[in-house]
Amino acid sequence: CVRPPAESKKPLMRLVFPAKSVESALAKGAGIHPLRSYATVSSVFVGSLSALLRELGETDAGFVRTIKPNDSLSPAAANARSVLRQLRTCGMLQAVKMIRSMFPSRTLHADVAARYGPLLRCAFLEELAPRDFVTAFCGAFDVPPSEYRIGKTRVFFRPDAAVFLNALCRREPRGSDDVTSLAILRWKLGLWRRELSIATKLHAWMQRARRRFGAVAVSKRVGVSQVHAYRWLRRDFAVCCVRDRAATRVAKHARSRAARVRLGCALGSAKALQTMARKKVARAAFKRAQRGAMTVQKHVR
């Protein structure tokens, strides 16, 4: 005869399929009253399978991979080559690469809009849909668009990328520290609005210029990438202006130093010439005085 799993000799089977769960499964799934003295093999199997499926449905699946540190299984003696070989063999490195190329972290647009919309108190944000709100929210920060994706209902983040923005979208703004964060966020959203307006005007001007010169106009909506491009272009222009100003100032100081050096050399040369001329005049006067004195002494003698 076939024993039910609850009456198995193995402790693991009795633990997975207890007698009470089997009886309740028989009563519910197979339609057999628990007080009846008979049960078919199929009814017991169906009841056990139903109990197992119900238990699996209440839990989450998890996978644990064990890696041997060395062949002798001795503690505190890890073998790097052996560990790397096992990781490559079981496909762990490929799994990590696949996970890093995906967007596992995600947040609903409606949650972000409901969490920050009432606190920011910006008039232009109240008119935006949740997706546009999240677009402005993420675009206000200097986070490359490649580190996140904005879907129809959710925003997705790469692992170990845009950590601050991901945490900002998930956490509830509470406490006195978040007052400063909200003020900075409100200021950055205002900058985002101005940058979006300027980028839209530049895009429209480029479209008109393309149509004027006979090129095909690209009717593409201005998004985060275009705003970031304008932001980086403006920053590059500011950096170039600062560098040009610094280069002009450095050149000015270099020219003034060279002029001072030349002036010092000229002054030194002039002083040397004046000294030599005065010496020559003094020697000539001394010789004349000496000759006069000798002439007077000669006439006296």
Domain residue spans of the chain: 5-57, 105-186
Percent of the chain with pLDDT over 70: 84
* CB-CB contact of 182 with 173 (8 Å): yes
How would residue 62 be classed by pLDDT, with cut points 50, 70 and 90?
Answer: low
Nearest to 131 by CA among 122, 139, 123: 139
Contacts of 103 (CB under 8 A, 6+ apart): 148, 149, 156, 157, 158
The H-assigned helical ranges of 3-73 are 11-16, 19-28, 41-57
| Predicted model pTM | 0.47
Residue 160 to residue 209: CA distance in whole angstroms: 42
What confidence tens digit (pLDDT) does each residue in 107-145 have?
A: 888 888 888 888 877 777 777 888 888 888 888 887 887
| Predicted confidence (pLDDT) per residue in 269-290, tens digit | 999 999 999 999 999 999 999 9
CA distances from 233 to 112, 239, 240 (A): 29, 10, 10
* Angle at 191 (CA atoms; ends 185, 197), nearest 5 degrees: 135
Three-state secondary structure along 204-254? HHHHHHHHHCCCCCCCCCCCHHHHHHHHHHHHHHHHHHHHHHHHHHHHHHH
pLDDT attached to residue 30: 47
* pLDDT at 28 > cutoff 60: no
> Is residue 17 very low, low, confident or very high in pLDDT (cuts 50, 70, 90)?
low
Half-sphere exposure of 199 (CA within 13 A, CB side): 22
Pair of tokens at residue 224: 């985060």
pLDDT band at 81 (very low <50, low <70, confident <90, very high): confident
Residue closest to 110 by CA, chosen among 134, 87, 86: 134
CATH class of 105-186: mainly alpha
Residue 292's alpha-carbon distances to 94, 278, 281, 283, 300, in angstroms, are 112, 21, 17, 14, 12
Tens digits of residue pLDDT in 30-49: 445 455 555 677 888 888 88
CB 120 within 8 A of CB 185: yes
Token pair 């009717």: residue? 219
Of residues 152, 227, 154, 225, the one with CA closest to residue 189? 227
